[in-house]
Structure 1
Amino acid sequence: MWLITAISSAFLFGLAGWWMKVSQMRGGSTRTLLLGLYASGTLGFGVHAALEGTIGVLGNPKVWIAGIIIGAGSAWGNALFMKALHFGPASLTSPLTNMNIILVIALATWWYREPLSAYEAVGITFLLLAVVFIAHKRKEPLTITEKRWFLLVGVAIVMFALRNGGLKVTEELGMPSAPILFIAYALSLGWFLIPSKTKAEKAAQRTGLRLGIIAGLFSYGGLQLYAVALATGQANLAAPIFATNSLVVAAGAIVFYKEKLTGLQWTAFACTLAGLIIIRL
């Protein structure tokens, strides 16, 4: 059951990324996109916490500390990732930042002593290869001339690990995920409510906000299911499965925007399928 939950978490979180891509293709404002995403995500986690009866733990300072750390990992990780794209190719930036999953696997395997068989290790390897291959783009130069790129990518890896691994830590501490993610998204929402010096056209702002709200609902669903997968299964398996969410964006680009993938990107889909089958064995 946890395997289905983990796959569903990757699919839903991937749909959040897909709607972000749609906004980009339609000229939507990035700022209002993220504003809408964190607004609907905050609402989703808040309603979830209220319905399951965990909203009361918001009075616990430890929950706020966890929410602040995970929220910082999410918001700053995304901000650093976008900044790194200005100084280096996406074909390197995206797979390297996704390698934060290795830190989560190490945390679960060596710190929390989660078992890992040879078959599962092979399956994880296939999933990590899929994450690397899916970002490959034709004719994109791979030369890094800006030293700032290395720092940005390095810190982004740590930030994303705080988000993805932080949920494992809080689960082990017996903290409910919904109120923690509510705090994380609410703080990120507050960040994007700060007025920006640059103003986008109203049409772009509306497009970004509308599609951001949709993306936020899928982001809520994906992260909440990821937290459930961590609680009911193994983090060293759930985390690499969750990392394959970018394949949903690639699949949508093929179907709706007729984008042609490279041989390596098709290999990424094959690696994902092989990895999931091997893990299930």
Structure 2
Amino acid sequence: MWIVAAFITMICFGLNNIIFKWSTGKGYSKVHIQFFFYFVAFLLSLGYGMIVGMAQFNLLTIGLGALIGILNANGNIQMSKAFEKGPASLTSPLIGTNALFPILSAALIFHEHITPMQWVGIVLMLGSAIVIQYSPKAGGNIQYSSWIIRIILAIFSFGALGILMKTSSYLHFDSLNTLISMYGGGSIYLAINSLVGKEKWILREANTGALVGLISVIGYSSYFFALNTGTASIVFPIVSLNCLIVVLGGCWVFKEKLKKYQLFGVVAAVLGIVFTKI
């Protein structure tokens, strides 16, 4: 079931990225869409907790959950800014390497055993994620110093997020409490970002953000379940394959054509998944 949960997370994250891509073309603010999705997700998770009952909150759970939310929001902001400063063909693969940090932490810090066959699968999945997102003909002006800084910040944010997610499950923190803290902390962080940036608010951003929030609740609930019951070093590369959903969604929604090297990446991803289950 934890493999299924990891796949649900992958699909949810991929769907959200497609929505983010669509909203960018509409000129919507990434900060505002994230704020609405965090706030709606906070209300949904808090409402669910009040109905079914919640474990008692403590400062460590609140602090860790809020930090996860802030890191995720900041990683998305830094990634979008990196796309504006440099080539997308290099930005996506470089930021995608953040999955190595939680994978290595699962083996070194949390002492998970990874078989040689599973390592082959992990390498195949990470490699396919890079290949799928690579676009050799991407051009544009590159502002190297700003671009590199944004990439480093995004890698740190997403990498640290993965390690903290595993830490939360390792310490047996209540997943619902962590989710509520995550969405609450992220909402406050994004509200501050909006006030500092003085961006204009658009009503349609709320509708889009609400949809993303609903999908996010499903995705992160599955993420915590997968980490609590499965092998984190396998969960992380599966989740990183959300780019598969983005590529396939791009073909269907945006009428983009799948390139030969992307088809190769899809096949490598499937092989990687098979190897990790052996």
Identify whether the pair has TM-score above 0.5, normalized to the shorter chain.
Answer: yes
Residue in structure 1 matched with residue 6 of structure 2 by the alignment:
6
Q: Assess if the C-alpha contact under 8 Å between 2:81 and 2:150 holds in 1.
A: yes
2:200 is aligned to 199
Distance in 1, matches of 2:123 and 2:63, equals: 33
What's the CA shift string for 1:119-150, capped at 9, x where partnerless? 11111111101211122225114985522322
Given the superposition, is the C-alpha separation of residues 7 and 53 from structure 1 closer, same or farther in structure 2, using an over 3 Å criterion?
A: same
- Pairing partner for 1:228 from 222, 225, 228: 225
Q: Deviations over 1:241-280 (max 9, x none)?
A: 0111122122111112211132222222112211112222
Residues of 2 paired with 1:29 and 1:142: CA distance?
A: 22
- Contact 2:63-2:181 at 8 Å conserved across structures: no
Q: Deviations over 1:178-204 (max 9, x none)?
A: 21122122122123334342326xxxx
1:266 to 257, 263, 268: 263
Aligned match for 1:244, one of 223, 238, 241: 241
Which runs of 5 or more structure 2 residues have no equivalent in the other structure?
none
In structure 2, distance between residues paired with 1:130 and 1:49:
38
Any conservation in 2 of the 1:27–1:207 contact (CA below 8 Å)?
A: no
Q: Aligned equivalents of 1:87 and 1:27: distance in 2? A: 17
1:179 alignment counterpart:
177
Instruction: Give deviations 1:153-184, integer Å, cap 9, x for gaps.
Output: 12221111222221110111110122112212
134, 137, 156: which one aligns with 2:135: 137
- CA deviation vs aligned residue, 1:224-249 (integer Å, no higher than 9, x gap): 10111011110000011011112212
Kindly provide the amino acid, as one letter, of the partner of residue 128 in structure 2: A
Equivalence map 1:1-80=2 (5 Å): 1-51=1-51, 53-54=53-54, 56-58=55-57, 60-80=58-78
What is the TM-score of this pair, normalised by structure 2? 0.91
Matched residue SS, 1:86? helix
Tell me how large the CA RMSD over aligned residues is.
2.0
Counterpart contact for 1:96–1:153, Cα < 8 Å: yes
The share of aligned pairs that are identical, in percent, is 28
Contact kept? 2:70, 2:189, Cα under 8 Å: no
1:81 maps to 79
TM-score (normalised: structure 1): 0.90
Identify which range, 79-88 or 6-15, moves more after superposition. Answer: 79-88
- 2:213 match: secondary structure: helix
Whole-angstrom CA distance in 2 between matches of 1:216 and 1:104: 24
Q: Do the aligned partners of 1:244 and 1:272 also contact (CA within 8 Å) in 2?
A: yes
Partner of 1:149 in structure 2? 147
The match for 2:215 is 218
Aligned to 2:250: 253
State whether residues 5 and 223 of structure 2, in contact with CA within 8 Å, keep that contact through their aligned partners in structure 1: yes
Aligned pair count reads 275
Partners of 2:52 and 2:236 in 1: CA distance: 24
Unaligned stretches of 5+ in structure 1?
Answer: none
- 3-state SS, counterpart of residue 122 of structure 1: helix
How much has 1:210 moved relative to structure 2? Answer: 1.0
Distance (whole Å) between structure 2 residues aligned to residue 113 and residue 23 of structure 1: 41
Measured at CA, do residues 9 and 52 of structure 1 come closer, stay the same or move farther in structure 2, by a change above 3 Å? farther
Instruction: Provide the secondary structure at the position in 2 that maps to 1:124.
Output: helix
Q: Is the 8 A contact 1:131 1:268 kept in 2?
A: yes
Question: What is the alpha-carbon distance in structure 2 between the residues aligned to residue 122 and residue 277 of structure 1?
Answer: 10
CA distance in 1, matches of 2:50, 2:163: 24
Which stretch shifts more, 147-156 or 219-228? 147-156
Shift of the 57–252 alpha-carbon distance from structure 1 to 2, 3 Å rule, reads: same
3-state SS of paired residue (1:134): helix
